[in-house]
Structure 1
Amino acid sequence: MAGKKKHEAPKNNWMDTYGDMVTLLLCFFVLLFSISTVNAEKWVMIVKSFNPAAAENISQLVQEDPNDQKGEHAIGQEAGGLMTDKENFDQIFWAMKEYVEQNNLEESVEVKKGKDFTFIIFRNNIFFNGDSYILRQEGKDILDVLCNSIAPVREQVGELRIMGHTNQADPNNPNPIAGDRFLSSNRAAEVLVYIETKGLIDGKKLISMGYGQHYPIASFVTEADRAKNRRVEIYIAKNDATKYTLDEVYANIEDGSQSGNEKKDESKKTQDSVTEEEV
């Protein structure tokens, strides 16, 4: 009686498994590619639909290529091209806002956004000591952050205006004109010089101005309000943007509808006496 024929296992079964693995890897990389080319504007809408709060920090998801001098995003491409210049330019605002929040600098730095511009208010103590226009190291550090946020979109910057402001120590008596003007102008110039040495922006786009005591954003009565008036402001406008005056800038940002002269009139209504202090 003949013995049973032994059943032999099929050879090269491993190739089936290998082929399946390669197919899955191909699908995986196709998926990654499709994600990398998603339109950023549509991506923001998707995120906002799930979590409106997350959309405020969407800039954390859109990282810029440090080697891209035009500020084009590594993601955010679509079939018709790249994101718009305006969306790239707004990264100055988001980068500075994120830095301020992460470092708990809200009491010293305010970052605001208007139409085609970013506006930053620096309380005086972060840049200068009292009655001084020597830039402090803390001020240099935050200006480095600002310059780094500008670098990827520097070709889109049409104007960078730096404005120095002082405080009126006595609400009833204006500061001496010469000292008031020179101090505010020198502080603005110091900030401009530091930024210009970075070589990011054409010098003809950089402007420094000293407004002295004439554009307060609070009263001259209390110490807390006087501290708000001692400040440096930086206005960064996009190419071909409207050239706003300072009054128009205040009117175009959140909580900026009240002009400095109106606030000054309010401060004169209170006749409390104050001691002489730094401006």
Structure 2
Amino acid sequence: MVQKRMSRKRRKPDDINPNSWMDTYADTITLLLTFFILLYSFSTTDNEKLKLIAAALKGQITGIPMKLEDVPDIEDEEKEQGIGEKSPYQILLEDIQEIIDKNGLTDTVKIREEDAGVVLQLSESILFDLGKADLKADSTPVLEVISGLIPAIENEIMVQGHTDNIPISSGTYKSNWELSTSRAVNVVKYFIETKGFDPTRFSATGYGEYRPLVDNATEENRAINRRVDILIVQQKEIVKE
């Protein structure tokens, strides 16, 4: 009976809030959301806004308010690191395009970019008569303009002849292979024999009908495929060990 009458100490309610983890969780989610919003803003904002964001972030990290002028210009940093600078290949491409435009040859000489380099695409009708490989007199002005490019560059130059898929019926050339090769050779001979350029820089190749730009289904497409490509080979960077 004594034991029953003994007063029992009541336990104090637990001071730990079982839901307190939600506050930390909510803060973490908010920080992550802010982080991803900043990442998105980096890809869409201009340089001035990026500087403002950078100033705010540095101020939060260091505890010292940052002024906008104290933050280095992002574009200047990229220039110092070589980011955004034009490569020699890009400069070459722009120079060629400028010369072609200035001489009114935009519709005559097409410029293509390939992994191997810059291609000057000349239609058959500019250089040759149908089924023949002798350069026409009308081709001289175009070749003169292209010749003006060559002394300014050191790149290798590959002249490539192409035809459509119609079998040739000429007695001089037994196949499109021979016709395309002869055309490429005659263009190279113009650069070497007429213009006096170093022959070691040139090569001539005939591909016949086997490297078309478009399907040979129509006459218009076949005319596109009958061409001479002058490839200015992109110089490979030498990796120093």
Report the TM range for the smaller structure's normalisation: 0.5 to 0.7
Question: Structure 2: any 5+ residue segments left out of the alignment?
Answer: 1-84
User: Which of 157, 162, 175 does residue 159 from structure 2 map onto?
Assistant: 162
User: Which of 203, 209, 216 does residue 205 from structure 2 map onto?
Assistant: 209
Query: How many Å separate the matches in 1 of 2:175 and 2:237?
Result: 34
Instruction: Identify the residue that residue 145 of structure 1 maps to in structure 2.
Output: 145
Question: Match of 1:143, as an amino acid?
Answer: L
TM-score by length of 2: 0.54
Which of 1 and 2 has greater Rg? 2
Question: Structure 1: any 5+ residue segments left out of the alignment?
Answer: 1-83, 243-279
Q: Conserved in 2, the CA contact under 8 Å of 1:116 and 1:241?
A: no
Instruction: Identify the residue that residue 94 of structure 1 maps to in structure 2.
Output: 94
Query: How many Å separate the matches in 1 of 2:225 and 2:116?
Result: 25
Query: How many Å separate the matches in 2 of 1:187 and 1:146?
Result: 17
Q: Secondary structure at the match of 1:184?
A: helix
Deviation at 1:199, TM superposition (A): 2.6
Instruction: Identify the residue that residue 196 of structure 2 maps to in structure 1.
Output: 199
1:32-59 superposed Cα distances (whole Å, 9 cap, x missing partner):
xxxxxxxxxxxxxxxxxxxxxxxxxxxx
Instruction: Identify the residue that residue 108 of structure 1 maps to in structure 2.
Output: 108
Instruction: Identify the residue that residue 133 of structure 1 maps to in structure 2.
Output: 133
Q: Conserved in 2, the CA contact under 8 Å of 1:188 and 1:232?
A: yes
Query: How many Å separate the matches in 2 of 1:149 and 1:105?
Result: 14
Q: Secondary structure at the match of 1:212?
A: coil
Report 1:170-185 matches (<5 A): 178-185=174-181
Q: Conserved in 1, the CA contact under 8 Å of 2:165 and 2:209?
A: yes
1:124 aligns with 2:107: no
Q: Secondary structure at the match of 1:168?
A: coil
1:16-75 superposed Cα distances (whole Å, 9 cap, x missing partner):
xxxxxxxxxxxxxxxxxxxxxxxxxxxxxxxxxxxxxxxxxxxxxxxxxxxxxxxxxxxx
Query: Number of aligned pairs?
Result: 151
RMSD: 3.0
User: Which of 167, 179, 182 does residue 186 from structure 1 map onto?
Assistant: 182
Change (3 A) 1:111 1:241: farther
Report 1:1-279 matches (<5 A): 87=88, 92-114=92-114, 117-153=117-153, 156-157=154-155, 159-169=156-166, 178-197=174-193, 198-200=195-197, 202-240=198-236
User: Identical aligned pairs, as a percentage?
Assistant: 25
TM-score by length of 1: 0.47
